[in-house]
Amino acid sequence: MGEDHARIIDATTERFGKDRGRLIDIARALQGELGHLSEETIGRIAGALDMHRVEVRDAVSFYSFFSREPTGKTVIRLCNGVVERMMGADEVARAFEEAVGARFGETEPGQSISMVYTPCIGLSDQAPSALVNKTPLTRLRRDDVPGIVEAVREGRDVSDLPQTEIKLNLHKTGPVICARLERGVAIRAAVNRSPADVINEINRARLRGRGGAGFPTAMKWDYCRRAGGDRHFVICNADEGEPGTFKDRVLLTGFADLVFEGMTVAAYAVGAREGFLYLRGEYEHLLGHLEEVLRKRRHLGLLGENICGCEGFSFDVRIQVGAGAYVCGEESALIESLEGRRGAPRDRPPFPVQSGYQGEPTSVNNVETLCCAARIMVEGAEWFARFGTKDSTGTKLLSVSGDCARPGVYEVEFGASVAKVLDMVGGADARGVQVGGPSGRCLGPRDYGRSISFDDVSTGGSFMVFGPQRDVLRMMYEFTEFFAEESCGWCAPCRVGMTLLVRQFEKILNGKGTRADQAALERLAVTVKNMSRCGLGQTGANPILTSLRNFPELYDARLRSEEFIAPFDLAEALREGRQITGRKPPLEGTHA
- Using CB under 6 A, list all residues that contact ligand SF4: 327, 345, 487-491, 494-495, 532-534, 536-537
C-alpha pair distances (Å), 276 with each of 260, 279, 346, 354, 437: 10, 9, 19, 17, 25
In angstroms, give the least distance from the CB of 239 to ligand SF4: 14
In the complex with ligand SF4, the residue whose CB is nearer, 350 or 467, is 350
Residue closer to ligand SF4, measured from CB, 139 or 529 = 529
Please identify, using beta-carbon distances, which residue of 99 and 500 lies nearer to ligand SF4: 500
Give the nearest distance from C-beta 538 to ligand SF4 in angstroms: 7
- Comparing every residue's Cβ against ligand SF4, the nearest one is 537
On the question of a cis peptide bond just before residue 407, with omega within 30 degrees of 0, the verdict is: no
Based on CB atoms, which residue is closest to ligand SF4, 231 or 495? 495
Rounded CA separation 342/353 (Å): 21
Sheet strand arrangement including 274-279: 316-321, 274-279, 233-238, 362-366
If the CB atoms of residues 284 and 336 are measured against ligand SF4, the closer one turns out to be: 336
Minimum CB separation from ligand SF4 for residue 494, in Å?
3
Q: How far is the CB of 19 from ligand SF4 (least distance, A)?
A: 27
Closest CA to 401 of 366, 367, 429, 425: 425
* Shortest distance in whole angstroms from residue 225 CB to ligand SF4: 29
* Separation of alpha carbons 308 and 468, rounded Å: 55
With respect to ligand SF4, which residue has the nearer C-beta, 170 or 328?
328
CB 450, CB 429: distance < 8 Å: no
d(CA 533, CA 19): 30
Q: Which of 35, 356 has the CB closer to ligand SF4?
A: 356
The rounded distance, in Å, linking the Cα atoms of 58 and 79 is 26
Residue closer to ligand SF4, measured from CB, 281 or 540: 540
Please identify, using beta-carbon distances, which residue of 417 and 538 lies nearer to ligand SF4: 538
Residue 578 CB, nearest approach to ligand SF4 (Å): 39
Nearest-10 crossing angle of helices 39-49, 23-34: 140
Q: 557: Cβ–Cβ under 8 A, 6 or more apart, which residues?
A: none
Q: How many CB atoms lie within 10 A of CB 526?
A: 13
How far apart are alpha carbons 544 and 553 in whole angstroms? 14
Cβ of residue 537: shortest distance to ligand SF4, in angstroms?
A: 3
Q: Note the Cα 315 to chain centre separation in Å.
A: 27
Q: Is the CA virtual torsion 489, 278, 80, 83 positive or negative?
A: positive
Q: SS3 letters for 126-146? A: HCCCEEECCEEECCCCHHHHH
Q: Which residue from 427, 470, 430 is spatially nearest to 87, judged by alpha carbons?
A: 470
Provide the minimum distance between the beta carbon of 143 and ligand SF4 in the complex, in angstroms, as a whole number.
Answer: 40
Smallest gap from Cβ 367 to ligand SF4, in A, equals 22
State how far the Cα of 442 lies from the Cα of 463, in Å rounded to an integer.
10
Shortest reach from residue 325's CB to ligand SF4, in Å = 10
Q: 286 or 488, CB closer to ligand SF4? A: 488
Q: Which is nearer to ligand SF4, 163 or 487 (CB)?
A: 487
**Min CB(279)–ligand SF4 separation in Å:** 21
Q: How far is the CB of 542 from ligand SF4 (least distance, A)?
A: 13
| Torsions phi, psi for 522 (to 5 deg) | -65, -45
What single DSSP character describes residue 22?
G
Nearer to ligand SF4, 38 or 538 (CB): 538
Task: Quote the Cα angle for 533-535-539, to 5°.
Answer: 110
Whose CA is closest to 123, among 138, 141, 108, 142?
138
Looking at beta carbons only, is 237 or 487 nearer to ligand SF4?
487
| Triad 563, 565, 571: Cα angle to 5° | 140
At its nearest, how many Å lie between ligand SF4 and the CB of residue 488?
A: 3
Nearest CA-CA partner of 473 in 581, 376, 548: 548
Residues constituting the chain: 592
